[in-house]
Amino acid sequence: MTVSACILGCAGPTLSRAEKAFFADVRPWGFILFGRNIETPDQVRALTEDLRACVGRADAAILIDQEGGRVQRMGRPHWRRYPPSRAYGLLGADGREIARLGGRLIAHDLAAMGVTVNCAPVLDLPSPDGHAIISDRAYGQTPADATILGRAMAEGLIAGGVLPVVKHIPGHGRARADSHETLPVVDAAWDELDAWDFAPFRALSDMPMAMTAHVIYDAADPKRPATTSKSMIRRAIRGAIGFDGLLMSDDLSMKALAGGFRGRAERALKAGCDVVLHCNGDMAEMKAVAAGTGPLKGRAKRRAEAALARRPQAVEPFDPAEARVRFDAAFDGRFAA
């Protein structure tokens, strides 16, 4: 069965007839959900089932951003709140255990809805003069913090049957602009990036998936952001960092990227992304992305298959009620449902 090297969104909580026909024709590798797609547990389960039915693949990846804090698509009243990543770093010696427990709880929530991939953990290291888009989404201020707590979160997700996506490789923390709105430029020297920003990604280079940063790094490519830079992907992501898992672009609809959507998809794939991500569910944009996306094949296909194979056959034994009590106690109930 031919699968397209893309991940697409949908417009609302149910699929339109046009969306069903389009997805059946394009057969994207996966889908991503946002708040506009989330209403009730029964509705989300029905939506994930319908998305998979469109492409005829029970293992089609369904993604979401459920980091905690400012970035979580499933929330009250049906799902509990989770703290921002920074909160785990403030727990001291208990941070690693509670971060893993948080990942396990999030995975429990997601897996019950048919969601199999979480776009977390964020391994970016915030810089004092960096834009606030990262800030408390980061686990701490140092590579050691991001490595220890990010791995704990990822391990908790995997234990619950949900695959993590480390982001935003090779590091968004120094960016002085929000790539949702404009194209940031980082002018740090290569050695500085390699020793600091790349370090958490290198330490977690064994993770199944990673998402690129729409950021220019002058030290390697002063013209193109990492997502569309063959130099940055080869030298930094596949080279210095050593990541050989499935590499997906960040959202192609972000304003950091220029040009039409077909061209954005083509440039990202040509640069070395394995799959491209388009999030907003706009049909015209998705059709253009699909036109610029070929079939998933070769090394990219092997990476995609290897990523999906990382989902455990049986999830780790788990008592969600007991876990919630321990989790809430660690934060003095500040994030209790």
Selecting among 250, 251, 274, 278, the annotated active-site residue is: 250
Report the distance separating Cα 254 and Cα 280, nearest Å. 10
Verify whether residue 278 is a known catalytic residue: no
Selecting among 42, 59, 180, 206, the annotated active-site residue is: 180
Amino acid at 176: R
* Rama region for 268: left / alpha / beta (φ>0; ψ in -120 to 50; rest): alpha
Report the distance separating Cα 251 and Cα 214, nearest Å. 9
Verify whether residue 180 is a known catalytic residue: yes
* Cα angle for residues 307, 310, 314 (degrees, 5° grid): 145
Residue by residue, DSSP assigns 47-100 as HHHHHHHHHT-TT-EEEE-EEETTEESS-TTTS-----HHHHHTTGGGHHHHHH
Positions of E strands within the chain: 4-8, 28-33, 61-64, 66-68, 71-72, 117-118, 163-169, 185-186, 209-212, 216-217, 221-225, 246-251, 275-278
- Could you list the active site residues? 180, 250
